[in-house]
A and B are shown apart, each in its own frame.
Chain A
């Protein structure tokens, strides 16, 4: 664990972005998330870590109501974004998802051109008025996704023709293009080489100035490098949540300690 550069950056604001109380998630009879309480601050990178199958993705998907698309999934408890309950009957999940963007665990570009992949979000949300604006948004998003240089000559080639890592960065660029307030990233770097990973981490750091970022990762190093807050999940429970530095150097729960030192997982 010596190679961990734990960067303790000050969190600028203490405004709460997501406030989750007593969240329970069930897949049919399977109790996947057990009584999770967590407060996610704005302009912060929060890392979710934990062994495979512990419910990180499940909890992440609660935050933009992507779990609604799974018939057997049931969410209980209170989840609020900027003080508004996102599971309120009045809330349209479509509007929520425009605010809370998501990058999925597996890259899933649309089978359309690279340009159309990026342009889709801005188009449906009416973020741009002219073709020139759209071109600009596409270029900026691709640059932020650290993929511009690789695709600038073939913007109209199919997005599905890219390599796995390139596809994932395309998906990141696509999510960024809609200018969400919160970006949920489910293992965004699992298919990336170290250079692209570094670029994405840079992007995350940059995004923090405007958004909250929540990132699921299996790499302790990455969690330590990019996040200010870390949440450790185990078997559906939130075992420990706090400043990244504290979690990695001074974990309170023995389960956290054994996980980050590599004894369970």
Chain B
């Protein structure tokens, strides 16, 4: 107790009023204010970037969810569709789009004579081109499904051609039509007349979410059905593989593994793997799963496996962080009561780490959902019109994925595809938002359960 008195006495303080702000306090307060300002401007800048991004994507992509349809009556002439007159399904199966095309042509000519008589320079060919090239296929499918209706006249809803559709969405105007070989002013005038007659309408487009991709010539028919299914299948594979493997290995590394050079090497490698560019995983997947294991190309199973490899480090790192954040006193308490290591982990540490683990897993999944580069390498960029079967067989059928579909569509020349690509981005974002919401809900649920 003697050294206290030996210490130099503190310099005498001037007595100051509390109402007077000292220069030092003022400087400190000014520094704090500046810091708050910097922080706020950073947040605002970020928000602004987000708003610009979202509004540009929404304005470009929302039209993809609406589509223009033409309603017209088509006579299903028996002399074209069923020359033998026996409605034999085998004969029906032999029909081609060449057989039904004249029926549509006839229907459009009727429309043209009814509505287009006062439009100068309107040719039959122009009228026919206003309907999507998808129409004959649609008609054919209908005839095959309902052979008993041959000989009657039915009302059909055909997709309008992409340019006509664009006209109602503001993408095509009279001015642009004059310079465009694929569309003429007369067609636009007829379209206006058809709308007035109720023969043409623009409404919500479910087919965008359910239909498969379509060729370059018919953007109006292209949809995300196969891509959504493919992405869903891949997420299933990732969830079923990456989550259990990732969590199990994290628990082992964090709670059971001895601390030695081997586990150190593993640890360093996991951190490195998390930083490996995703395209490298694509090359790895190509070499191992396709060239060596001979799994099919473009299959969700291969995509899922590659994305699993890519997601594992993320899940392991976040799971280990979550396990580490559980206070050691909890483990001490359980061990002190005579719980085994495994009981301690599963009864106490894991439930407390669960919110963190789930957050990490869902962030990993979201990353995988948006990943494009490795999927290009394993052939997911293929043009797929067939829906994959139900899992598990469907995992081996060809499919595409949402981000790959976006990439694919932006590569095509018709601006209608650009609109669809923006629409696909919106779908992708909606899925990501849903997943993150799920993460938040799960976290809340587990936090309350403690």
Contacts and interface: CB of A to CB of B under 8 A. Distances in A.
A102 B352 CA distance: 22
Given A111-B450, A158-B450, A106 B329 contact: yes
A120 B337 contact: yes
A169 to B, nearest CB: 14
Contacts, number: 62
A94 interface: yes
Nearest to B338: A98
Interface in A146-172: 158, 171
Nearest to A103: B336
A192 to B, nearest CB: 18
Contact of B333 (A71, A95, A110, A124): A110
A178 B338 contact: yes
Given A94-B339, A95-B338, A112 B450 contact: yes
Interface string B328-370: 0111111111111001000110001000000000000000000
B5 interface: no
Interface in B397-433: none
* Residue picked from B259, B333, B352, most chain A C-beta under 10 Å: B333
Count chain A CB atoms within 10 A of each CB in B338, B340, B450 and give the residue with the most: B338
Contact of A124 (B329, B332, B343, B450): B343
Nearest to A177: B337
A167 to B, nearest CB: 11
Interface string A59-77: 0000010100101000000
A109 B337 contact: no
Contact of B336 (A95, A104, A111): A104
Q: How large is the interface on B (under 10, 10 to 19, 20 to 34, 35 or more residues)?
A: 10 to 19
Most B Cβ at <10 Å: residue of A95, A98, A110: A110
B338 A108 contact: no
Contacts of A104: 329, 332-333, 336
Given A106-B329, A110-B330, A94 B340 contact: yes
A239 to B, nearest CB: 24
B336 A64 contact: yes
Nearest to A102: B336
B333 A94 contact: no
Q: Which of B259, B331, B334, B337 has the most CB of A within 10 A?
A: B337
Contact of B330 (A97, A101, A111, A121): A111
B332 A66 contact: yes
A175 interface: yes
A125 interface: yes
Contacts of B329: 104, 106, 108
A33 B333 CA distance: 23
Interface of A: 64, 66, 69, 71, 94-95, 97-99, 101-102, 104, 106, 108-112, 120-121, 124-125, 158, 171, 174-175, 178
17 contacts: A69-B332, A69-B335, A94-B338, A94-B340, A97-B337, A102-B336, A104-B329, A104-B332, A108-B330, A111-B330, A120-B339, A120-B347, A124-B337, A124-B347, A125-B338, A158-B450, A178-B338
